[in-house]
Amino acid sequence: MHPMLNIAMRAARGAGNVISRAFENVDKIEVEAKGGNDLVTNVDRQAEQIIIDTIRKSYPDHSIVSEECGELPGKNSDYQWIIDPLDGTANFVKGIPHFAVSIALKVKGKLDQAVIYDPIRGELFTASRGKGAQLNNVRVRVTAQKELAGTILATGFPHKQKHHTEAYLGMFNDLFMNSADIRRAGSAALDLAYVAAGRVDAFWELGLRPWDTAAGELMVIEAGGLVTDVTGGHNHSKSGNIVAANPRILKELLTQIRPHLTATMK
């Protein structure tokens, strides 16, 4: 196993232990509104510190970008860790047991290692570039679904960009009418991990940030899936508008989305 994946797993488990312990006393969690329907808690920050300390102990020169503390430049910018210490904070605060730690490593700008850890279910999703994706050390693959009809899709509502609501609901309507059903579970990292594990056939969301999607993107690709922006291009880490799917249904999915795209979504 790649030594940097090992450190990422150690960091994710350390953060996961703090998160699951805190989850036993949700009423003691200190919640802060970051603005625009975006929350952060003392547990997000504690988890983030554990992850950063674990990484820095082994790789003090690496760069880090993490949701709550932002950019931490390192002497060696070839290595950049992208961290969401607690993806699904709103679920966590509400006592809904569906959230994860998400850690990705980019080497010279390319996604190289990824860990998504669900501390409640004890599910550790991992991926290394060129080595496939695993769930608790068992290989996972995207579904082989050949058409949109009959698929179960995952999504997130644009709760931080409500100006996209009309366009988004147009996409939702057309995708819902052409698939079997849609899930909105509240953790983009787990949504992507579930695409990789074949639990859902595809995922799309508008307005995500690199720390929401970096680890999940590598996981989907290593599980045989494709990740694009909403036009089928590769601008998703900038636009935040992402589609992840098994290759057979991506084209049909983008066709349903296309009529609802606005200029700012591309």
Tell me which of Ca ion, ligand IPD, none is bound by residue 88, counting a contact when its beta carbon lies within the kind-specific cut-off of 5 to 8 angstroms: ligand IPD
Our CB check for ligand IPD shows the closer of 128 and 220 to be 220
With beta carbons less than 8 A apart as the criterion, state whether 202 and 246 touch.
yes
Select the residue whose beta carbon is closest to ligand IPD and give its number. 156
Tell me which of Ca ion, ligand IPD, none is bound by residue 201, counting a contact when its beta carbon lies within the kind-specific cut-off of 5 to 8 angstroms: none
Q: How many helices (H) and strands (E) does the chain have?
A: 8, 15
3-state secondary structure of 137: coil
Least distance (Å) between residue 166 CB and ligand IPD: 18
Least distance (Å) between residue 89 CB and ligand IPD: 4
Least distance (Å) between residue 3 CB and ligand IPD: 27
With beta carbons less than 8 A apart as the criterion, state whether 244 and 227 touch.
yes
Our CB check for ligand IPD shows the closer of 38 and 123 to be 38
123/116 Cα distance (integer angstroms): 8
Opening angle at CA 190, ends 258 and 232, nearest 5: 20
Tell me which of Ca ion, ligand IPD, none is bound by residue 197, counting a contact when its beta carbon lies within the kind-specific cut-off of 5 to 8 angstroms: none
Residues 128-167 as b/e (b if ≥16 CB within 10 A, e otherwise) read bbeebbbbeeeebebbebeebeebbbbbbbbebbeebeeb
Least distance (Å) between residue 167 CB and ligand IPD: 16
Tell me which of Ca ion, ligand IPD, none is bound by residue 156, counting a contact when its beta carbon lies within the kind-specific cut-off of 5 to 8 angstroms: ligand IPD
* Site for ligand IPD, rule CB under 6 A: 38, 67, 84, 87-90, 156, 160, 186-188, 205, 208, 212
Tell me which of ligand IPD, Ca ion, none is bound by residue 186, counting a contact when its beta carbon lies within the kind-specific cut-off of 5 to 8 angstroms: ligand IPD
* Site for Ca ion, rule CB under 5 A: 67, 84, 86-87, 212
For tokens 């970051």, what's the residue? 34
Our CB check for Ca ion shows the closer of 116 and 133 to be 116
Torsion of CA 7, 9, 15, 16, to 10 degrees: -170
Tell me which of ligand IPD, Ca ion, none is bound by residue 48, counting a contact when its beta carbon lies within the kind-specific cut-off of 5 to 8 angstroms: none
Our CB check for ligand IPD shows the closer of 153 and 252 to be 153
For tokens 């196993």, what's the residue? 1
Backbone phi, psi, residue 53, to 5°? -60, -40
Our CB check for Ca ion shows the closer of 67 and 217 to be 67
